Structure 1
Amino acid sequence: MNDEIRKRPIGYRWRSSTLFIISCIAIALFTETFLYGFIVPILPEILQDRNHVDPSDIQRITYQLLTLYGAVSMVCSVFIGELADRAGTRQTPLIVALGIALVGTFLLAVSTQLWGVFLGRIIQGVGGTAAWIVGFATLRDSIHGRNMGKAFGVINSFVSVGALSGPAVAGMLLELAGYWVTWGSALLVLVIDIIMRLLMLEQRSLKTNSSSSPRSPSISGEASADEDSALLTPGSSTRTYDALKDDRLASTAPPTAQISTLSFYKILFTHPRVLTALLCSVTYSTMLASYNTTIPTHVKFAFDWGSLPTGLLFVGLQGPTIIVSPICGWIRDKVGTRLPATIGFLTLAPLLWLLGAADQKQFPWGRDEESAKAVYIGAAIAIGFVTNLMSSVGTVELTSVVDTLEAQQPGIFGPNGGYSRTYSLSGLSFSIGLLAGPLISGTLADSIGYYQMNIVLASISVAVGMTAFAFLGGKDSLDIDRARQEDPSEDE
């Protein structure tokens, strides 16, 4: 026992604790969203002052650079998931991903040629996508499946902080401290993130290493005591399911044959829950992208709002996620994804209609500008709260399906469980929405008007809500999934 303790790395307890691992992943995903929006307020200086782009082309190139990030994510996410699942550890792909993002960010900062700006954004997109996929897979290795909703809720709060603070920090520092100090802050965030990845000890690797020792149960028991945190329910140590799965793997003779990559996707796509979860993810990100595309232009012409009130409106739209997301995650852990997603999409529909109807003269509130503004702000804030019921639905549902399949046939998706490929699908669906959102909302707003566009989006929300009610996992499927994870011989 003492020999085993002496062999442990320095800071073993806190470096392998669930709380520290969640903190590392939260900061990694905060960094990814921070960098995504960080470039927005400084793009004019990058393009005009350093790369000598004609002012008339700045708007077009800005749109291309922002769209490019989502396109890169959509193209490379599946390949990244496949490579990450083949890696023997999560830590190395995470560090590589952040290193790639660091290179891309540095290239963006120093480039004085337009091709360098585009190349830097592409590299940054690859690194950010990889960090996102491997980060969620690492989180799944460290958290019991029944606590994933709460964990994702906390992660979403950090993601929202990153999305809100990225443009704000960049704009403030550029104004007060200059160009290089601004980029230095972004690079510093990445360096700190890489250092945290180096400090983190994967719980999965520790279990594998300790399993060869007869003393490993004691070590695992001591570690799991430290792993519990306020995010986890009492007694829900991360070792329960993972260790059981490892034991089944070790005792199976012969071991279950690992399926091919193509078969992995075929198996998942035969499940209506998976297809519905991906549809919810696409719709969710489509709605988010539509807000960014249409709201600034609409409030400028409808209410004559400048950048400050528009920015404050987006704080009201995105800010509730920071507080409400963990609560919604706890709800998903308790009742499954069906009820929250259904309520979220069905409630979003009238709020979208109200957002479009706020300044319409045929309604009483639309006849007075101040009333119209109040209705618009209220609808935006309400959307900010309701949106949290739909976030992470795809990720949680995919995790649940893969957990159940793994419990039924341990090792079917390989030694890493196929979670990187699973989260690459979730990331792919989110990226599709980010690309489709501006196209759909922008085209509709231009062709039929802002009010009619919101009616169309509201109708889509109703249709997806009904689909979610029909096919997503509710409380009953949640209980079945957990029973199968504990005893794969049980039948539904």
Structure 2
Amino acid sequence: MSSERAEMRLLDYRWRSSTAFIIISITIALFAESFLYSFVVPILPYLLEVRNHVDPRDTVRLTYQILTSYGIVAVISGIAIGQSADHIKSRKLPLVLGLGVAFVGTVTLACATQLVSGVFIGRFLQAIGGTSAWIIGFATLRDTIEAKDMGKAFGLVSGFSSAGAMSGPAIAGLLLSLAGYWATWGAALLVLLLDIAMRLAMLERPKKASKASVQEAICEERNEPTSQPAGANEETGLLSDVHTQQYSTAVPRENLTKNDVMSTKSFYRVILGRPRVIVGLMCYMVYSSLHASYNTTIPTHVRSAFGWESLQTGLLFSALQGPTLILSPACGWLRDKVGTRLPTGVGFLLLAPLLWLLGAADQTRYPWAVSGEYAEVTYALTIVAIGCAQNLIASVGSIEITCAVDELERDQPGIFGPNGGYSRSYALSNMSYTMGFVLGPLISGSLADAIGYYHMNSIFSGVAALMSLLAFSFLEGKSPVQRKGDDVNPDAT
């Protein structure tokens, strides 16, 4: 009976600490963060005008302020979250706390009847919780996966994050019209509860495999009897079917002194002193800026140029985001094989003419716009092509900064402390991505109003060409870290 109980517990450890379950849990966490970010958009007019009695003339201004405030809070809180997370041994506690903050923020926003104390504070809490999920989720993912699989994993997460951002407004609008206000918020809270439940079920990987645990994994592969290590608990997880991160260190991480560990100020100076990191973060910010600018400019342009209403516009955004779900893992595989330089450079190189064509699709001086039908087809096909090309750029900031941290850890093991520097790194990549989402609508909206949609896209085309040149010149995107724990030869024991 005791052996059956031990076997059941062993199986429980194995699936809860498996690579697949951890990736699924983190993917759902980041899907939920993106989902919540955009979920509120179609609800805001009702929330402001009906529940908070805002003058309808102020709705557009307040909507912009509420959405922008999310990005500003995310940028400000991200650095503090990354710094704190790298000083906590377990990723579980800060991630669950972050999701809890997002849950409280969502409830506060849903129940808000006061503009400042309810709506803005609720949105601020959502921003802090979502930023925590993003930063710590990526750090947990990096602790789990191999360097050779980083592009595929990050690509998968990026695809589902885009799906969350795309599906949030559609689901919220549909539920609001069919089921009412509270049922709509109930769906968002259900997604968060599922996210929290999976995170509580997930077991973290030890950052360093012990000799005993490697030997246990070997015995289990040979079907030889083995026993559960003494003192195993829910924080240890199993190493029988996983690869864990291991560095060849002169000083064990747990024995590091303050003099061995890089200070916070030095961390940012060293990381941001690398051109590959700066260019990677710039590429990431331009990518998210373009992404956000589509939401600002496409609906108004297609309405004025082609007379398209919400249905056609929604289908257009589906065509823009749809390729991400299919192509993100494939582009991630490509980044694993060749690094980020070639995919990112080619991605921006393809975007340069496509962005220009997006603005020129309805310009009658060009042959494809001799009739309205040709112009519409040209515009729609260009949107699909952009949706495909942008996958080559996705996750470039996160991957490039990860590789830089791996390189520093290889050259000076333990330099970032016993818990590594991934959370601080992903705080920087999250900051660049979020800054793009804040600046994108502001820049694109201002340019479209000042010089027109065609000239705005011509400028964006030039920016894409410049980023392609920088990507080809500075990016690398392949991790130097080799995990020696993966190279254990069973026949040698």
Which residue type is aligned with residue 81 of structure 2? I
What per-residue deviation string (whole Å, max 9, x for no partner) do you get for residues 194-222 of structure 1?
111110000127x57xx4xx743334557
1:429 match? 432
Alpha-carbon spacing, 1:420–1:288, altered in 2? closer, same or farther (3 Å): same
Q: For residue 12 of structure 1, report the CA deviation from its aligned partner.
A: 0.3
Give yes or no for contact 1:316–1:381 (8 Å, CA) kept in 2: yes
1:195 match? 197
- Whole-Å Cα distance in 1 between the matches of residues 171 and 472 of structure 2? 40
- Whole-Å Cα distance in 2 between the matches of residues 172 and 391 of structure 1? 29
Alpha-carbon spacing, 1:224–1:194, altered in 2? closer, same or farther (3 Å): farther
Which residue type is aligned with residue 87 of structure 1? I
* TM-score, normalising length: structure 1: 0.89
- Worse-matched range after superposition: 254-263 or 267-276: 254-263
2:354 match? 351
1:151 match? 153
Q: For residue 192 of structure 1, report the CA deviation from its aligned partner.
A: 1.1
Q: Does 1:217 align with 2:225?
A: no
Q: For residue 71 of structure 1, report the CA deviation from its aligned partner.
A: 1.1
Q: For residue 252 of structure 1, report the CA deviation from its aligned partner.
A: 8.4
1:173 match? 175
1:65 match? 66
Alpha-carbon spacing, 1:191–1:411, altered in 2? closer, same or farther (3 Å): same
Q: Does 1:259 align with 2:274?
A: no
| Alignment match of 2:135 (pick from 124, 133, 136) | 133
Structure 1 unaligned spans of 5+: 226-236, 488-492
Aligned residues with identical type, % of pairs: 54
2:236 match? none
- Whole-Å Cα distance in 2 between the matches of residues 200 and 315 of structure 1? 32
Which residue type is aligned with residue 347 of structure 2? G
- The SS at the match of 1:24 is helix
Number of aligned pairs?
Answer: 466
Q: For residue 353 of structure 1, report the CA deviation from its aligned partner.
A: 0.5
1:458 match? 461
What per-residue deviation string (whole Å, max 9, x for no partner) do you get for residues 331-386 of structure 1?
00000000000000011000001000000010112221111100000001100000
Q: Does 1:467 align with 2:467?
A: no
Q: For residue 244 of structure 1, report the CA deviation from its aligned partner.
A: 3.5
Structure 2 unaligned spans of 5+: 223-240, 486-493
Alpha-carbon spacing, 1:339–1:356, altered in 2? closer, same or farther (3 Å): same
> Aligned Cα RMSD in Å?
2.6
Give yes or no for contact 1:97–1:127 (8 Å, CA) kept in 2: yes
Q: For residue 156 of structure 1, report the CA deviation from its aligned partner.
A: 1.3
- The SS at the match of 2:418 is coil
Alpha-carbon spacing, 1:221–1:108, altered in 2? closer, same or farther (3 Å): farther
Q: Does 1:53 align with 2:54?
A: yes
1:239 match? 243
Which residue type is aligned with residue 135 of structure 1? G
1:229 match? none
Give yes or no for contact 2:26–2:138 (8 Å, CA) kept in 1: yes
- Worse-matched range after superposition: 110-119 or 96-105: 110-119
* TM-score, normalising length: structure 2: 0.89
Q: Give the number of the structure whose residues are more often helix, by fraction.
A: 1
Alpha-carbon spacing, 1:245–1:30, altered in 2? closer, same or farther (3 Å): farther
- Whole-Å Cα distance in 2 between the matches of residues 438 and 218 of structure 1? 55
Which residue type is aligned with residue 170 of structure 1? A
Q: For residue 67 of structure 1, report the CA deviation from its aligned partner.
A: 1.2
Give yes or no for contact 1:337–1:472 (8 Å, CA) kept in 2: yes
Alpha-carbon spacing, 1:158–1:7, altered in 2? closer, same or farther (3 Å): same
- Whole-Å Cα distance in 2 between the matches of residues 239 and 247 of structure 1? 21
What per-residue deviation string (whole Å, max 9, x for no partner) do you get for residues 110-146 of structure 1?
1111111111001101100110000000000000112
Which residue type is aligned with residue 285 of structure 2? V
Give yes or no for contact 2:261–2:416 (8 Å, CA) kept in 1: yes
- The SS at the match of 1:88 is coil
- The SS at the match of 2:43 is helix
